[in-house]
Amino acid sequence: MKILANMKLAWKLPLTIAIPAVVVVMISGLLQLKQTADAIDQEHRTAYTSYVESKGSEIERWLSDSQVDLLAIADTYGIQTALNEFSSAWDAYAGAVSDDLRRLYISDNPNPTGQKDELVLAKDGSTWSEVHNRHHVGLRSYQRARGYYDLFLFDTNGELIYSVFKEDDFALNFTNGVYAQSGLGEVFQEGIKLQNGQFYMTDIAPYAPSADAPAMFMSTPVFHEGQKIGVVAIQLPLDVMTEILSNSELIGTTGEVYLVDNNGKALTNSRREGGFSTLDSLPALSQITSALSGGTAYVKTATGVSGQDVVATTSDVKTPRGDLWGLVFEIDRSEAMQFTQHATITTALATSITGLVLCLLAWLTVRSLIQRVEILAHEMEQISEQNYGQEIAGQRKQDEVGFISRTLAKLQVRLRDGAEAEAREKIVQKNNKNVVNMLSEGLVDLAKGDFRNQITETFPEEHVKLRDSLNNAMTGLNDVVLTVRDTADSINRGAQEISGSADELSQRTESQAATLEQTAAALEEVTASVRSATEHVESVEKTVGTARSKALESGEVVGETIEAMTEIEQSSQKISQIINVIDDIAFQTNLLALNAGVEAARAGEAGRGFAVVASEVRGLAQRSADAAMEIKSLIEKSGQQVGRGVKMVGRTGDALTVIIEQVQDISGLVSQIAQSSREQSTALSEINTGMIQLDQVTQGNAAMVEENTAAAHLLRGDASKLIHHVDQFKTSGSNSKNSMPPIETLPAVQQSASEFDEDPFEETEPFVHQAANDKWTDF
């Protein structure tokens, strides 16, 4: 602590700033690293869990689709036909059918193993080969389109009467043959027991005809017309499951994803070179146990199938027959945590850089502060030597050093003001004496009515307002006197003009009164005429309204007529349709009567009476047809006349519509004319009343004109008296007579103590508060 107390500020301040800041940055970096690691782990958990769940769903969907597809094909006519024909041809084959077909389609097949399906027709002339020629291409296309390893057809005796690839199991019996205990034998033996719409699926197991490769089969019985005729089976391609599981970027370089059954055997191959294969027994790992327990789990630290540390995620897969498979995804922990390691390095680097930046900022801050303190010490030394002309630097800074600079500047101003106070006081007293003398002379002239003199000497700033006020008073009074003189002359001239105009106005007033009487009489006549016209227009308006109402009623009648005519036309059409039906009935009756007559003729004598009746019926039918045609012709003519009537009524309706619109327009115009007439009548009445009032006002004006004439003569006399009194004042025209000694100018003050808001020696508390809130952001 003693070393720290004696240390210079240039070292002490940076250390006290940088060390706590670096510690805070390191703690923040560690917390950020922890949060980043947790976020990455949560991201891994979410991504890996979603991956295994989606892949499990895809495997389940693939198995379910295969089951549905198998049931669907077993119910098709093509499979039923093919199975019946293959079975019949097998039974009808002359000779050792199994040996011959195996020789023709396997041993003597020119195509290599795996491509035996290329042979479509063997040249043996057998019925089986002809059936094979008809169905093989279609069945093979179906097998290829679905991606199955192979497709098999069995008869009810267990004979494999058809397969696509003709492997070593072709044309053998799977009830008691060499492969009866294989997976294909199991799938037949169980499938033949099922009912329509049921299926059977085997476990994944080695299959000898396929070189002991792991295989899985699915079968269902085939029914035709309610009778079981055989079994159709498929061999599922296990590599499809491997492709489904491996199709993701999440696997990375070291990722491993696999299926495992309840016995702990792998159901898929390992991605690693030299890794496990399908049906290999896997070690009893915790993630495998978790997968077989069902549900989804995330294991942050586990041992992988190859013995390395891994991050594992597990899920389950339910097969169509209800078995539970385990789905495990593993990835080396080193690969999974590489993002965390990168974040650790990045955080450490960022923390180091931040610490260095903080140290640099602390050094720059202290360096700037020390330089300002040194400048402040130099300025204080200048003030102690009574050198007040130097400006104090740093006054605009808002930190503690800026506060000291402002306080020192106030002290400098007060010391300078004290030195100048005595000289200034002497000059002020001398200037005040001269100002009093000049103002006294000006007031004397003002009292005498002499407004010509102005004070032009320079006054001190505090007395300039007095000088300007006196000069403004002189100028104002001078201007007032001149204005009064001009106004008096103007009043005199105006009074003369008023006196001359008064007589002329009296004559015009009398003439105006006579004219107003005549005008009032004429307006009365015009008012009566307009009132009569208004009454006629109102009568016309009522008549037009009645016409419009009748036109509207006629329009409604025409509309109802159109609707009635339209209904008549529709009824005519319906009657025509009924007549057509009657015509058809008459034709059919005529035809039946004709047939009856022919049959009666064939009957001979026994059918003679029936022939007469048939002849009469034909006659009635013919007359009915003729009558129906006449009615139809009349209805058509009536319909044409009704149509013409509808058109004429429609035209009448259109004409009435136009008439109604025109009547409405006329009604509106007549209403406007009536309203205008009423307004004119009212306006003329008001004008007539106004004329009467104007006549009365005119008579009053005549009396007032006489009074104005007398007042004009009095005004002329008063104006003459005013001019005489104004001439006694002396107005502008001569120079100022003041001659006083000049006013001395006071020395300029750079800055007074009053310019500061507070006394510097009373700011101890703000100083401390400001230091507490300083953030060291200004250098």
Nearest Cα residue to 93 out of 120, 137, 136, 129? 129
Neighbours of 224 (CB within 10 A): 14
pLDDT at 744: 58
pLDDT above 80 for 723? no
pLDDT above 60 for 738? no
pLDDT at 225: 92
CA angle (756, 762, 766) in 5-degree steps:
90
pLDDT band, residue 512 (cuts 50/70/90): confident
Instruction: Report long-range pairs for 626-635 (Cβ below 8 Å, ≥24 apart).
Output: 628/579, 628/582, 628/583, 628/586, 629/583, 631/575, 631/579, 632/576, 632/579, 632/580, 632/583, 635/572, 635/575, 635/576, 635/579
pLDDT at 65: 95
What digits encode the pLDDT tens for the residues 580-599?
888 788 788 888 877 887 77
- DSSP state string for 84-122: HHHHHHHHT--S-HHHHHHIIIIIS--SPTT-GGG----
- Of residues 712 and 543, more confidence is placed in 543
Say how far apart CA 612 and CA 24 lie, in whole Å: 129
pLDDT at 185: 96
- Running DSSP on this structure, what letter comes out for residue 209? G
All structural domains of the chain, each given as residue ranges with its CATH number in brackets, are 75-232 (3.30.450.20), 244-340 (3.30.450.20), 465-726 (1.10.287.950)
Nearest Cα residue to 492 out of 708, 726, 713? 713
17 neighbors 358 (Cβ within 8 angstroms): yes
pLDDT above 60 for 748? no
Give the 3-state secondary structure of residue 568.
helix
pLDDT band, residue 179 (cuts 50/70/90): very high
pLDDT band, residue 751 (cuts 50/70/90): very low
pLDDT at 98: 93
Helices (H), 385-463: 400-448
CA angle (30, 35, 36) in 5-degree steps:
95
pLDDT at 772: 42
Residues 6+ apart with CB under 8 A from 78: 135, 138
Sign of CA dihedral 532, 534, 536, 539: negative
Range among 161-165, 369-373, 594-598, 687-691 rated most confident = 161-165
Tokens (6 digits) for 453: 């003199």
Say how far apart CA 557 and CA 552 lie, in whole Å: 9
Helices 400-448 and 764-772: crossing angle, nearest 10°?
140
pLDDT at 775: 41
197 neighbors 68 (Cβ within 8 angstroms): no
pLDDT band, residue 631 (cuts 50/70/90): confident
- Of residues 772 and 380, more confidence is placed in 380
The alpha carbon torsion through 293, 294, 300, 303 (nearest 10 deg) reads 40
pLDDT band, residue 561 (cuts 50/70/90): confident
pLDDT at 538: 76
pLDDT at 180: 94
Tokens (6 digits) for 774: 């300083």
Is this structure's pTM higher than 0.85? no
What digits encode the pLDDT tens for the residues 22-77?
777 677 666 665 666 666 667 767 888 888 888 999 999 999 999 999 999 999 99
Q: In which element (H, E) is residue 45 found?
A: helix 9-74
pLDDT at 770: 44
Q: What's the longest Cα–Cα distance across the chain? A: 176
Tokens (6 digits) for 127: 């019925």
pLDDT band, residue 223 (cuts 50/70/90): very high
Say how far apart CA 331 and CA 308 lie, in whole Å: 9
pLDDT band, residue 428 (cuts 50/70/90): confident
Mean local confidence (pLDDT), 196-214: 93
Say how far apart CA 728 and CA 722 lie, in whole Å: 11
